[in-house]
């Protein structure tokens, strides 16, 4: 029960954190916001000089936005762990109480 309450609290605070970040965004479709002008121009003009990558996409996802890619890879890893937890047949990976280990 304690763990469930902790999980709900962590989730709610994370959602609040994301929503607070979202409230700083410019309104959707604003033509003069920096994202649509300065960021694009900076990436296209300076990515080779600043990241050293000829492929501008690689420069963006692994240098300017490397943390985004880090979390993407973490999502894949978490999905893998969850699939193994839910679907594996043997008891070892299901977090059993340890008594089943003798059978394997």
For other proteins, the closer of residues 43 and 62 by Cβ is 62
Q: How far is the CB of 89 from other proteins (least distance, A)?
A: 5
DSSP percent split of the chain into helix, strand, coil, nearest 5? 75, 0, 25
32 to each of 13, 35, 38, 49, 60, how far by Cα in Å?
Answer: 32, 8, 10, 26, 22
Locus of tokens 């000829």:
54
For other proteins, the closer of residues 9 and 42 by Cβ is 42
Structure token pair of residue 17:
């954190």
For other proteins, the closer of residues 52 and 95 by Cβ is 52
Which residues form the interface with other proteins (CB under 8 A)? 48, 51-55, 57-59, 61-63, 66-67, 69-70, 72-74, 76-77, 79-81, 83-84, 87-90, 93
Q: How far is the CB of 46 from other proteins (least distance, A)?
A: 12
Q: How far is the CB of 63 from other proteins (least distance, A)?
A: 6
For other proteins, the closer of residues 36 and 70 by Cβ is 70
Integer Cα distance of 27 and 5 in angstroms: 35
Q: Which helix (H) or strand (E) holds 84?
A: helix 66-87
């Amino acid at each position: 029960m304690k763990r469930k309450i902790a999980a709900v609290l962590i989730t709610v605070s994370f959602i609040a954190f994301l929503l607070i970040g979202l409230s700083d965004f410019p309104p959707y479709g604003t033509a003069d916001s920096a994202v649509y002008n300065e960021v694009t121009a900076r990436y296209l003009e300076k990515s080779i000089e600043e990241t050293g990558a000829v492929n501008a996409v690689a420069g963006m996802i692994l240098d300017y936005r490397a943390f985004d890619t880090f979390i993407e890879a973490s999502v894949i890893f978490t999905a893998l762990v969850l699939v193994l937890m839910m679907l594996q047949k043997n008891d070892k990976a299901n977090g059993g109480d340890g008594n089943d280990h003798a059978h394997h």
